[in-house]
Amino acid sequence: TQLLEQSPQFLSIQEGENLTVYCNSSSVFSSLQWYRQEPGEGPVLLVTVVTGGEVKKLKRLTFQFGDARKDSSLHITAAQPGDTGLYLCAGVDNTDKLIFGTGTRLQVFP
């Protein structure tokens, strides 16, 4: 069974701080997706990274896919209260299904 471990599990920071969330596995994925989930709602796709070493930016969010396609990171610059939520990474396995990570719950205080 492929596993995706996310760290940290919880993160509580002040508005304006920077943070990085990590998503690690011993397995190789063909691509990796990042989702954000707010309370009472389903996850919403933020980005998909496909190529090893790929970096994608979405406003203040920077996503990187590891060179070996086993890990990924999400960096948020100058966090805002609107960034609060559960961040989930999900790797696409060799049967074309998503394997979700354990999640990072982020709380940004004004």
Partner 1 sequence: NAGVTQTPKFRILKIGQSMTLQCTQDMNHNYMYWYRQDPGMGLKLIYYSVGAGITDKGEVPNGYNVSRSTTEDFPLRLELAAPSQTSVYFCASSYSGSNNQPQHFGDGTRLSIL
Report the interface residues with partner 1, using CB under 8 A.
Answer: 1, 4, 6, 9, 30-31, 33, 40-45, 48, 50, 88, 90, 92, 96-98, 100-103
Q: Please, which residue, 3 or 78, has the CB nearer to partner 1? A: 3
Q: Please, which residue, 68 or 78, has the CB nearer to partner 1? A: 68
Please give the helix or strand (H or E) that residue 60 lies within, else none. Answer: none
Neighbours of 5 (CB within 10 A): 14
Judge contact between 33 and 47, C-beta under 8 A. yes
- What's the min distance (Å) between Cβ of 31 and partner 1? 5
Six-digit token string for 49: 């990274």
Q: Please, which residue, 16 or 52, has the CB nearer to partner 1? A: 52
Q: Which residue has the tokens 């979700």?
A: 100
